[in-house]
Chain A
Amino acid sequence: VSTRTEVAGPTDEQLLERYLAPTSPPEARQAAFHQLVDRYHRRVFGVCLHALGSPSDAEDATQETFLKLARHADTFRGEARLSTWLYRVARNVCTDHIRHDARRPSTPVADPGTLDQAPQEADRTAGTDDALAVRAALEQLDPASRQALVLVAVEGLSYQEAGAALDVAVGTVKSRVSRARIRLATLLADDAVGGHPGGTPGADATPPRPDTSHP
């Protein structure tokens, strides 16, 4: 009889434990793994897309990441959060992809610095003025800051997770994100002043944006 009773929802680490529990029924173990996939599929894909630029490459790398989790979950030692570990795996997979691609002359090597915006993202927000302004401002950031900012502020990773995904220290992520936000604030303020002569940076509140997903 199982003695586990997390009604509030298991932690990632508990799900991993369930997946690995040798005495649990196979279906319960698989269910635990699928719950982890539910939680991280989208964001792992986001990390891979930012690293690789191509959705199909990113999907492939995402699959490999979860395959590694499935196969090597027992090597997780709990020194970090599982999510952090997972993003580190994703980063390594993506790095391998880039190396692999670099060995094939016919394939242009992805420059991660220029690939922060997936085409599909741009399409989805096209036509939205402030989204365009933000994107334009993002383009002016240095790639390292932009990546850190996007992973944290848009994709929803924690500083620790972004550190693992980018292979930099947590403190570095924090300072990059902080600087990127400040720089972005300046860029958007300049933009507001330039584009709208009457605008004052501190004064015009962000207007509610119409939902552009419905025509």
Chain B
Amino acid sequence: VDETDRLTSYLDGALDPDQEQALEAELAGDAVLRAQLAALQRVDAALARLPATALPDGARQRLDARLAATLDEVVATEAPITAAAPTTASAVGADELARRRRWRRVSVAMGGVAAGLAVLVVGLGGLERFGPTGGDDDSASLALDAVDDGAELAEMAPESAADGADTQALLPDLPVVLDDDRRLEASSLDLTLGAAPLQQVAAAALSADDAQALATAAQRRLLGTPEAPADDADRGPDITTDTEESEDAGPAADGDGDLAALTTPDGRRLGAEDVRDVRRCVAELLEAGTAAIPVLVELLEVDGVPAIQVGLVTPDATSGAYTRTEVWTLERASCQVLRFAQS
């Protein structure tokens, strides 16, 4: 190693501690060596200021377009999505959903579990008519048992065990939004997948038609109107002025739509910043797809990182019935997917 290679290695942090000490001792007593080091440092600084190659405008979009068919093909060969096409024109098939959800840096997962999900059980009583296990609390208590802070919420369930409310009546209850400062270890996220609300909705095995109204309303409540996604600070009635698409879920979304959905089960409204973050990440996740029913949203910390969990019920690939549960855990700041789990 000649003298100057030694200097570059020193700058790279590639010398071992002994060599490093020896060189520093030399530097202390050798002005020429110091000047050489300073010159190298100036070179490195000047190089570091040169701009790295930038992507041409639109390069990512063009790349994504060219990749799309191949990616679809690759992921389809291993995990075939059968053409259990939804029967209504408005329903979106699973593969279409996947396409819509082709988020850039999103991922999803949500886990939230717990806590407040028992409330959902209540609200979901009306789902019984769509499926065999609608009002059953077994799954609810299962999920809640696993979570220590679930007790008080579990108590809320019985009283709300609603009567034969129809689907419309259920709409205001979805998604369940949790903001309890929960701090989880990543290793405990699996619990969320068993959260009662998810289980309940999945157990209802909604048909595409039935799921559609629920999904549409829940998504709108969660996301607000597309035109004004950020104006949550002052909630206005405009949030429910809908666009032209099929809004047969209208009544439930009227009036106290929007922020009502972003109110925790104990009645607290999320702050504007929370609402914005939730919308940003959920919007990326769903990309306006209407086939997923957002059932749970939870603001929490995972291993000390602020995160948002989103629990979805989506159509089973083969039957088309809404029986699949997904939990996406997204880093709150970036909406990057930290974790994804599915039933």
Contact = CB atoms under 8 A, between A and B. Distances in A.
B74 A71 contact: yes
Given A175-B5, A178-B4, A201-B35, A26 B79 contact: yes
A67 interface: yes
Contact of B42 (A70, A185, A209): A185
Interface in B111-127: none
Contacts of A62: 59, 63
Contacts of A140: none
Interface in A24-50: 24-35, 37-38, 41-43, 45-46, 49-50
Given A27-B102, A30-B75, A182-B8, A49 B46 contact: no
A42 B59 CA distance: 9
Given A185-B39, A206-B42, A38 B63 contact: no
A2 B339 contact: yes
Contacts of A67: 66-67, 70
A149 interface: yes
Interface in A96-151: 118, 120-121, 124-125, 130-131, 133-135, 149
B44 A181 contact: yes
A22 B80 CA distance: 9
A206 B341 CA distance: 51
A133 B43 CA distance: 11
A9 B79 CA distance: 25
A178 B50 contact: no
Given A24-B340, A25-B340, A188-B46, A155 B53 contact: yes
A201 B66 contact: no
Chain A, interface residues (CB within 8 Å), range: 35 or more
B98 interface: yes
Tell me if B's interface is mostly helix, strand, loop or mixed: helix
Given A5-B189, A31-B107, A182-B8, A201 B53 contact: no
B79 A25 contact: yes
A23 interface: yes
Contacts, number: 201
Given A27-B98, A45-B53, A185 B40 contact: yes
A153 B44 CA distance: 7
A206 B44 CA distance: 11
Nearest to B77: A22
A188 B8 contact: no
Interface residues of B, number: 71
A157 to B, nearest CB: 10
A170 interface: no
A4 interface: yes
Contact of A22 (B64, B79, B303, B339): B79
A17 interface: no
A43 B337 CA distance: 23
A98 B50 CA distance: 27
Given A7-B302, A25-B342, A63 B52 contact: no
Contacts of A153: 44, 47-48
Interface in A147-204: 149, 153-156, 175, 177-178, 181-182, 184-186, 188-189, 201-202
B90 interface: no
24 contacts: A1-B190, A1-B193, A2-B339, A22-B79, A24-B340, A25-B98, A25-B342, A26-B72, A27-B97, A31-B340, A37-B64, A41-B60, A43-B52, A49-B53, A59-B59, A66-B67, A70-B74, A71-B70, A124-B54, A130-B46, A131-B49, A154-B47, A189-B39, A202-B38
Given A19-B75, A30-B71, 11 more contacts: A1-B193, A5-B186, A6-B338, A8-B303, A26-B75, A41-B59, A41-B63, A45-B55, A70-B67, A120-B54, A155-B52
Interface of B: 4-5, 7-9, 31, 34-36, 38-40, 42-56, 59-60, 62-64, 66-67, 70-72, 74-76, 78-79, 81, 95, 97-98, 101-108, 186-187, 189-190, 193, 302-303, 305, 326, 336-343
Interface of A: 1-9, 19-35, 37-38, 41-43, 45-46, 49-50, 55, 59, 62-63, 66-67, 70-71, 118, 120-121, 124-125, 130-131, 133-135, 149, 153-156, 175, 177-178, 181-182, 184-186, 188-189, 201-202, 206, 209
Pick the 9 closest A-B CB pairs, nearest first: A202-B35, A46-B53, A22-B78, A5-B186, A185-B39, A26-B75, A153-B47, A27-B98, A178-B8
